[in-house]
Amino acid sequence: MTDERLTRTLEEAGADGLISADPGIVRMLTGHFYDIETGPSVFAIPAIAVAVSGAEPMLVCSADEAEASDTAITYEGFTIARIDRVAGARQALASALERTAGAQARWLIDAASLPVGALPELPHARLADGELAGLTAIKTPSEIALIEAAIAVADAGQAAARETALEGATELELWERVREAMEARAGGRIPILADFVAGPRTAQVGGPPSTATIAPGDLLLVDLVPRVAGLWGDSCATFLDADPTEEQRRLHRAACAALELGIGMLRPGTTAGQIDAAVREALAAEGWEYPHHTGHGVGFAWHEEPRIVPGNDVPLAEGMVVALEPGAYASDWGLRVEQVAVVTDGAPRVLSGHDLSLARAG
């Protein structure tokens, strides 16, 4: 069955088909996902989706990855023979093109993801980048369920981060407990993007966990972005063990109110830019500002349309999944809160279940 999202993207681009090696686009069109944690493999190039309207999308990947797929066109992967992944992929891709719209069709080629050596001669092809940004924005109910499951994994990580006293632990030690809790919930190793910073480092918006020891009164900023079954979740909270300063308390209250305001605006027809403006202004009215986006779509990538940024005139639509993350950063501390919600035909449905409190425990 053809994916309506694909049909619309191809029509808008005046193209017959799409060739993409973007992991999110491949996941959406073919269901296939693969290890991304260890970088490019000597034995393969990234899996490629070949999709035209009116037919099941095809997958081109190494034989090592294809076990789950009946319809993949494969080339040799892990081998003790000579490695020729590029030629193998190019030949498999040419074969996939033959079985679909052919080499003479008007192919749209994902400019950011397709390795130059994998492309056969395609006289009427055209490179695309920004045009593909909207392709993955709207999610199906089953995709939303998978994103919800990924967010539940993030929730488990947030809960683990609050489980023990902060003081005296290093960021890295706490992080390992958080990762363990998330992977226990997921049932296996998963890729996780994360900000995990304490004390003065919270002023820097984010960063990886370090060996710095958490001091009394330090804030801990925990932003967890796990990929589960090929779909990304997201969540952020900032908390501490001690009594917050009055300024911290006021900012936290303002950030939570701005978040709630933004979540309430996640309705079909509202533009991304309107939400960005409203949330940004709500914090500005309290004297705070943040140097980053107000939020972003999430699911097939950890940051996708609708990007909740100034001036983005993309209108929200039912099925979009949006993370909002207002915060603010002083000279030696900062805080941010984040939830994810899905746009419905009525009120937005919040998928996040984690604690946003400023106090670590109860």
- Residue 198 CB, shortest distance to a copy of itself, in Å, is 14
Nearer to a copy of itself, 1 or 80 (CB): 80
- CB 334, CB 203: distance < 8 Å: yes
| Residue whose CB is less far from a copy of itself, 269 or 311 | 311
The string over 139-163, giving b where at least 16 C-beta atoms fall within 10 Å of a residue's C-beta and e elsewhere, is beeebbebbbbbbbbbbbbbbbbbe
Closest separation between CB of residue 113 and a copy of itself, Å?
6
Q: Which is nearer to a copy of itself, 7 or 210 (CB)?
A: 210
Q: Which is nearer to a copy of itself, 248 or 312 (CB)?
A: 312
From the CB of 2, what's the least distance to a copy of itself, in Å? 25
State the minimum distance, in angstroms, from the CB of residue 85 to a copy of itself. Answer: 6
Could you give the CA distance from residue 180 to residue 162 in angstroms, rounded to a whole number? 14
Collect all residues with Cβ–Cβ distance below 8 Å to 250 and sequence separation of at least 6. 286
- DSSP E strands in 154-303: the ranges are 192-198, 220-228, 231-232, 235-239, 295-297
Residue 47: what residue type? Answer: A
SS3 for 333?
A: coil
Give least dist CB 220 to a copy of itself, A.
16
DSSP labels, 4-25: HHHHHHHHHHT-SEEEE--HHH
Of the pair 90, 252, the CB lying nearest a copy of itself is at 90
Q: How far is the CB of 143 from a copy of itself (least distance, A)?
A: 18
CB burial readout 233-255, b (16+ within 10 A) else e: bbbbbbbbbeebeeebeebbebb
Minimum CB distance to a copy of itself, residue 357 (Å): 26
The smaller minimum CB distance to a copy of itself, of residues 12 and 129, is found at 129
**Mapping DSSP to helix (H, G, I), strand (E, B) and coil, where does residue 339 land?**
strand
CA-wise closest residue to 84 among 47, 44, 35, 32? 44
Q: Is 317 left (phi over 0), alpha (psi -120 to 50) or beta?
A: beta
Give the separation between CA 139 and CA 146, rounded to whole angstroms: 10
Contacts with a copy of itself, residue ranges (CB under 8 A): 22-23, 36-40, 42-43, 45, 78, 80-87, 109, 111-119, 127, 129-130, 133, 172-173, 175-176, 179-180, 183-184, 187-189, 191-193, 208-211, 225, 227, 292-293, 301-304, 307, 309-310
> Closest CB to a copy of itself among 275 and 356?
275
Q: In angstroms, what is the minimal distance from the CB of 71 to a copy of itself? A: 23
Q: Which is nearer to a copy of itself, 280 or 360 (CB)?
A: 280
